[in-house]
Amino acid sequence: MLKIVEKTKLWFAMSLFIIIIGMGFMVTKGLNLGIDFKGGTKLDIKMNQAFVKTDVDKIIDKHAKGEYLSKTLDEGKNLEITVKSDALTADQTATMVKEIKSQYKSSELLTENTIGATVGSELKTKAITGLIIAMFCMLVYIGIRFEFKFGVAAIVALLHDILVMVGVYAIFQIPVNATFIAAILTIVGYSINDTIVVFDRIRENQKNMRKASIDEITNTSITQTMARSINTVATTLFTIIAVYVFVPSIRELSFPLIIGILVGCYSSIFIASPVWVILKKRSKKAIA
Protein backbone atom coordinates (compact mmCIF):
# COMPACT_ATOMS: atom_id res chain seq x y z
CA MET A 1 0.00 0.00 0.00
CA LEU A 2 1.34 3.41 -0.97
CA LYS A 3 1.91 5.98 1.80
CA ILE A 4 0.52 9.09 0.13
CA VAL A 5 -1.25 10.90 2.95
CA GLU A 6 1.74 10.67 5.30
CA LYS A 7 3.77 12.79 2.83
CA THR A 8 1.14 15.49 2.36
CA LYS A 9 3.55 18.30 3.29
CA LEU A 10 5.99 17.15 0.62
CA TRP A 11 3.32 17.13 -2.12
CA PHE A 12 2.02 20.54 -1.08
CA ALA A 13 5.54 21.99 -0.91
CA MET A 14 6.37 20.73 -4.42
CA SER A 15 3.20 22.23 -5.86
CA LEU A 16 3.69 25.51 -4.03
CA PHE A 17 7.26 25.74 -5.32
CA ILE A 18 6.15 25.27 -8.95
CA ILE A 19 3.26 27.72 -8.58
CA ILE A 20 5.51 30.39 -7.01
CA ILE A 21 7.98 30.09 -9.91
CA GLY A 22 5.14 30.43 -12.41
CA MET A 23 3.64 33.42 -10.61
CA GLY A 24 7.11 34.99 -10.44
CA PHE A 25 7.41 34.80 -14.22
CA MET A 26 3.89 36.17 -14.59
CA VAL A 27 4.72 39.19 -12.40
CA THR A 28 8.08 39.89 -14.08
CA LYS A 29 7.35 38.94 -17.70
CA GLY A 30 3.56 38.86 -17.70
CA LEU A 31 1.37 36.69 -19.90
CA ASN A 32 1.88 36.79 -23.65
CA LEU A 33 -1.63 37.95 -24.50
CA GLY A 34 -2.59 37.14 -28.08
CA ILE A 35 -4.91 39.17 -30.26
CA ASP A 36 -7.91 37.15 -29.05
CA PHE A 37 -7.55 38.96 -25.70
CA LYS A 38 -5.54 42.08 -26.49
CA GLY A 39 -6.87 42.89 -29.92
CA GLY A 40 -4.89 43.30 -33.12
CA THR A 41 -4.46 41.95 -36.64
CA LYS A 42 -3.28 38.50 -37.71
CA LEU A 43 -1.98 38.00 -41.25
CA ASP A 44 -1.19 34.68 -42.91
CA ILE A 45 1.10 35.08 -45.91
CA LYS A 46 2.00 32.25 -48.26
CA MET A 47 5.52 33.00 -49.44
CA ASN A 48 5.71 30.46 -52.31
CA GLN A 49 9.49 30.86 -52.41
CA ALA A 50 12.60 30.60 -50.26
CA PHE A 51 12.94 33.47 -47.80
CA VAL A 52 14.89 34.55 -44.73
CA LYS A 53 12.55 35.36 -41.85
CA THR A 54 14.82 38.07 -40.42
CA ASP A 55 14.68 39.93 -43.73
CA VAL A 56 10.89 39.89 -43.70
CA ASP A 57 10.94 40.98 -40.05
CA LYS A 58 12.91 44.08 -41.06
CA ILE A 59 10.09 45.10 -43.39
CA ILE A 60 7.46 44.44 -40.71
CA ASP A 61 9.46 46.30 -38.05
CA LYS A 62 9.76 49.34 -40.28
CA HIS A 63 5.97 49.68 -40.10
CA ALA A 64 4.96 48.08 -36.77
CA LYS A 65 8.08 49.19 -34.83
CA GLY A 66 8.39 46.20 -32.50
CA GLU A 67 4.63 45.91 -31.87
CA TYR A 68 4.33 42.55 -33.61
CA LEU A 69 5.11 38.85 -33.50
CA SER A 70 5.99 36.69 -36.49
CA LYS A 71 6.52 32.97 -36.95
CA THR A 72 6.87 30.52 -39.80
CA LEU A 73 4.23 27.88 -40.49
CA ASP A 74 4.04 24.72 -42.60
CA GLU A 75 7.75 23.95 -42.27
CA GLY A 76 8.82 27.45 -43.20
CA LYS A 77 6.61 27.86 -46.27
CA ASN A 78 4.17 30.37 -44.78
CA LEU A 79 4.55 33.34 -42.46
CA GLU A 80 2.13 34.37 -39.71
CA ILE A 81 2.30 37.98 -38.56
CA THR A 82 0.45 39.23 -35.49
CA VAL A 83 0.35 43.00 -35.10
CA LYS A 84 -0.72 44.33 -31.72
CA SER A 85 -3.84 46.42 -31.36
CA ASP A 86 -3.58 50.07 -32.54
CA ALA A 87 -0.02 49.55 -33.85
CA LEU A 88 -1.14 49.92 -37.46
CA THR A 89 -4.20 51.28 -39.22
CA ALA A 90 -5.86 49.31 -42.00
CA ASP A 91 -4.09 51.45 -44.61
CA GLN A 92 -0.70 51.00 -42.92
CA THR A 93 -1.24 47.23 -42.77
CA ALA A 94 -2.07 47.19 -46.47
CA THR A 95 1.09 49.19 -47.21
CA MET A 96 3.21 46.74 -45.24
CA VAL A 97 1.73 43.73 -47.06
CA LYS A 98 2.25 45.48 -50.40
CA GLU A 99 5.93 46.02 -49.58
CA ILE A 100 6.38 42.35 -48.64
CA LYS A 101 4.74 41.33 -51.90
CA SER A 102 6.94 43.67 -53.90
CA GLN A 103 10.08 42.11 -52.46
CA TYR A 104 8.76 38.54 -52.61
CA LYS A 105 6.93 38.41 -55.91
CA SER A 106 5.41 34.96 -55.37
CA SER A 107 3.94 35.76 -51.96
CA GLU A 108 0.21 36.09 -51.43
CA LEU A 109 -1.99 37.12 -48.52
CA LEU A 110 -4.09 34.14 -47.44
CA THR A 111 -6.07 35.58 -44.52
CA GLU A 112 -6.34 38.80 -42.53
CA ASN A 113 -8.26 38.83 -39.25
CA THR A 114 -8.69 41.91 -37.07
CA ILE A 115 -10.03 41.78 -33.52
CA GLY A 116 -10.76 44.91 -31.49
CA ALA A 117 -9.54 45.31 -27.92
CA THR A 118 -13.17 45.50 -26.76
CA VAL A 119 -13.88 42.06 -28.22
CA GLY A 120 -10.78 40.70 -26.49
CA SER A 121 -11.89 42.12 -23.14
CA GLU A 122 -15.34 40.59 -23.60
CA LEU A 123 -13.78 37.20 -24.41
CA LYS A 124 -11.66 37.39 -21.26
CA THR A 125 -14.71 38.16 -19.11
CA LYS A 126 -16.74 35.34 -20.66
CA ALA A 127 -13.86 32.87 -20.26
CA ILE A 128 -13.49 33.65 -16.54
CA THR A 129 -17.27 33.58 -16.03
CA GLY A 130 -17.57 30.25 -17.82
CA LEU A 131 -14.78 28.73 -15.74
CA ILE A 132 -16.35 29.93 -12.47
CA ILE A 133 -19.78 28.57 -13.45
CA ALA A 134 -18.26 25.24 -14.47
CA MET A 135 -16.40 24.89 -11.17
CA PHE A 136 -19.50 25.87 -9.18
CA CYS A 137 -21.56 23.24 -10.99
CA MET A 138 -18.86 20.65 -10.28
CA LEU A 139 -18.87 21.60 -6.60
CA VAL A 140 -22.65 21.20 -6.41
CA TYR A 141 -22.64 17.89 -8.31
CA ILE A 142 -19.83 16.33 -6.28
CA GLY A 143 -21.37 17.67 -3.06
CA ILE A 144 -24.67 15.94 -3.88
CA ARG A 145 -23.18 12.80 -5.42
CA PHE A 146 -20.56 12.29 -2.69
CA GLU A 147 -20.24 14.87 0.09
CA PHE A 148 -19.41 18.57 0.30
CA LYS A 149 -15.84 17.95 1.52
CA PHE A 150 -15.13 15.93 -1.63
CA GLY A 151 -16.39 18.88 -3.68
CA VAL A 152 -14.17 21.39 -1.89
CA ALA A 153 -11.13 19.12 -2.27
CA ALA A 154 -11.84 18.69 -5.98
CA ILE A 155 -12.11 22.46 -6.52
CA VAL A 156 -8.82 23.03 -4.66
CA ALA A 157 -7.17 20.50 -6.99
CA LEU A 158 -8.66 22.25 -10.04
CA LEU A 159 -7.41 25.65 -8.83
CA HIS A 160 -3.99 24.02 -8.41
CA ASP A 161 -4.11 22.81 -12.03
CA ILE A 162 -5.15 26.23 -13.33
CA LEU A 163 -2.39 28.04 -11.42
CA VAL A 164 0.23 25.59 -12.71
CA MET A 165 -1.05 26.00 -16.28
CA VAL A 166 -1.02 29.80 -16.04
CA GLY A 167 2.54 29.50 -14.75
CA VAL A 168 3.49 27.31 -17.74
CA TYR A 169 2.06 29.91 -20.12
CA ALA A 170 4.03 32.64 -18.32
CA ILE A 171 7.32 30.69 -18.22
CA PHE A 172 7.27 29.57 -21.87
CA GLN A 173 5.52 32.75 -23.08
CA ILE A 174 2.89 30.72 -24.93
CA PRO A 175 0.38 33.10 -26.56
CA VAL A 176 -2.75 33.38 -24.44
CA ASN A 177 -5.62 33.23 -26.90
CA ALA A 178 -8.70 31.12 -27.64
CA THR A 179 -6.59 27.95 -27.46
CA PHE A 180 -5.75 28.88 -23.87
CA ILE A 181 -9.44 28.69 -22.96
CA ALA A 182 -9.78 25.37 -24.78
CA ALA A 183 -6.69 23.96 -23.02
CA ILE A 184 -7.81 25.06 -19.55
CA LEU A 185 -11.36 23.72 -19.94
CA THR A 186 -10.06 20.43 -21.36
CA ILE A 187 -7.64 20.01 -18.48
CA VAL A 188 -10.30 20.89 -15.90
CA GLY A 189 -12.64 18.26 -17.37
CA TYR A 190 -9.90 15.63 -17.54
CA SER A 191 -8.66 16.34 -14.01
CA ILE A 192 -12.11 16.26 -12.38
CA ASN A 193 -12.82 12.91 -14.05
CA ASP A 194 -9.64 11.42 -12.59
CA THR A 195 -10.41 12.92 -9.17
CA ILE A 196 -13.93 11.48 -9.11
CA VAL A 197 -12.55 7.99 -9.79
CA VAL A 198 -10.33 8.24 -6.69
CA PHE A 199 -13.12 9.75 -4.57
CA ASP A 200 -15.55 7.04 -5.63
CA ARG A 201 -13.12 4.38 -4.42
CA ILE A 202 -12.63 6.23 -1.13
CA ARG A 203 -16.38 6.31 -0.61
CA GLU A 204 -16.65 2.57 -1.25
CA ASN A 205 -13.77 1.77 1.07
CA GLN A 206 -15.31 3.88 3.82
CA LYS A 207 -18.14 1.35 3.85
CA ASN A 208 -15.89 -1.71 3.58
CA MET A 209 -13.14 -0.57 5.96
CA ARG A 210 -15.14 0.82 8.85
CA LYS A 211 -12.44 0.12 11.45
CA ALA A 212 -9.62 1.62 9.38
CA SER A 213 -8.32 5.17 9.82
CA ILE A 214 -8.97 7.92 7.29
CA ASP A 215 -5.31 7.82 6.24
CA GLU A 216 -5.43 4.08 5.66
CA ILE A 217 -8.68 4.27 3.68
CA THR A 218 -7.27 7.03 1.47
CA ASN A 219 -3.93 5.31 0.90
CA THR A 220 -5.70 2.06 0.02
CA SER A 221 -8.05 3.82 -2.40
CA ILE A 222 -5.20 5.64 -4.15
CA THR A 223 -3.22 2.41 -4.44
CA GLN A 224 -6.21 0.62 -5.96
CA THR A 225 -6.80 3.35 -8.58
CA MET A 226 -3.14 4.16 -9.31
CA ALA A 227 -2.76 1.65 -12.15
CA ARG A 228 -5.94 2.91 -13.79
CA SER A 229 -4.76 6.54 -13.56
CA ILE A 230 -1.32 5.77 -15.00
CA ASN A 231 -2.75 3.72 -17.88
CA THR A 232 -5.29 6.40 -18.76
CA VAL A 233 -2.68 9.17 -18.68
CA ALA A 234 -0.18 7.12 -20.71
CA THR A 235 -2.61 6.28 -23.52
CA THR A 236 -3.85 9.89 -23.66
CA LEU A 237 -0.32 11.27 -23.71
CA PHE A 238 0.69 8.99 -26.58
CA THR A 239 -2.00 10.61 -28.71
CA ILE A 240 -1.30 14.20 -27.66
CA ILE A 241 2.47 13.82 -28.09
CA ALA A 242 1.92 12.39 -31.57
CA VAL A 243 -0.23 15.43 -32.41
CA TYR A 244 2.46 17.75 -31.00
CA VAL A 245 5.20 16.13 -33.09
CA PHE A 246 3.36 15.64 -36.38
CA VAL A 247 0.91 18.58 -36.39
CA PRO A 248 3.01 21.72 -35.71
CA SER A 249 0.13 24.07 -36.49
CA ILE A 250 -1.67 23.26 -33.21
CA ARG A 251 1.31 23.00 -30.88
CA GLU A 252 -0.01 26.02 -28.99
CA LEU A 253 -2.83 23.72 -27.85
CA SER A 254 -1.12 20.32 -27.68
CA PHE A 255 1.86 21.46 -25.57
CA PRO A 256 -0.20 22.85 -22.65
CA LEU A 257 -2.45 19.77 -22.88
CA ILE A 258 0.56 17.51 -22.34
CA ILE A 259 1.53 19.51 -19.25
CA GLY A 260 -2.07 19.80 -18.07
CA ILE A 261 -2.83 16.08 -18.31
CA LEU A 262 0.24 15.27 -16.21
CA VAL A 263 -0.65 17.99 -13.70
CA GLY A 264 -4.28 16.83 -13.54
CA CYS A 265 -3.26 13.26 -12.78
CA TYR A 266 -0.83 14.49 -10.12
CA SER A 267 -3.39 16.74 -8.42
CA SER A 268 -6.06 14.03 -8.34
CA ILE A 269 -3.75 11.80 -6.32
CA PHE A 270 -1.43 14.09 -4.40
CA ILE A 271 -3.56 17.20 -3.87
CA ALA A 272 -7.30 16.37 -3.92
CA SER A 273 -7.11 13.27 -1.72
CA PRO A 274 -4.85 14.80 0.99
CA VAL A 275 -7.03 17.94 1.07
CA TRP A 276 -10.08 15.75 1.66
CA VAL A 277 -8.24 13.98 4.49
CA ILE A 278 -7.43 17.33 6.11
CA LEU A 279 -11.05 18.50 5.84
CA LYS A 280 -12.33 15.18 7.18
CA LYS A 281 -10.03 15.24 10.19
CA ARG A 282 -10.93 18.85 11.01
CA SER A 283 -14.60 17.97 10.81
CA LYS A 284 -14.16 15.08 13.24
CA LYS A 285 -12.22 17.32 15.65
CA ALA A 286 -14.98 19.93 15.50
CA ILE A 287 -17.61 17.30 16.30
CA ALA A 288 -15.50 15.90 19.14
pLDDT at 8: 93
Three-state SS string over 129-184 comes to HHHHHHHHHHHHHHHHHCCHHHHHHHHHHHHHHHHHHHHHHHHHCCCECHHHHHHH
pLDDT of residue 251: 79
Strand order in the sheet with 40-46: 68-73, 78-84, 40-46, 108-115
What residue ranges do the domains of the chain occupy? 5-34+119-287, 40-115
Helix, strand or coil for residue 109? Answer: strand
Domains 5-34+119-287 and 40-115 belong to one CATH topology: no
All residue ranges of the chain with pLDDT < 70 are 75, 85-86, 116-120, 286-288
Q: Name the nearest CA neighbour of 141 among 100, 193, 183.
A: 193
In the three-class reduction of DSSP (H, G, I as helix; E, B as strand; rest coil), residue 67 is classed as coil
The predicted-structure confidence for 214-257, as pLDDT tens digits, reads as follows: 999 999 999 999 888 888 889 989 999 998 888 877 777 888 88
Which is it for strands 108-115 and 68-73: parallel, antiparallel or unpaired? unpaired
Q: Dihedral sign, CA of 244, 167, 231, 143?
A: negative
pLDDT recorded at residue 122: 77
* Nearest in space to 85 (alpha carbons), one of 62, 108, 69: 69
CATH superfamily placement of domain 40-115: Elongation Factor G (Translational Gtpase), domain 3 (3.30.70.870)
Express each pLDDT in 85-109 by its tens digit.
667 777 888 888 888 888 888 888 8
| Cα gap 216→6, rounded to integer Å | 10
pTM recorded for the entire structure: 0.80
Q: What is the per-residue pLDDT for 286? A: 66
- CATH class, range 5-34+119-287: mainly alpha
| b/e code 11-28 from CB counts within 10 Å (16+ = b) | bbeebeebbeebeebbee
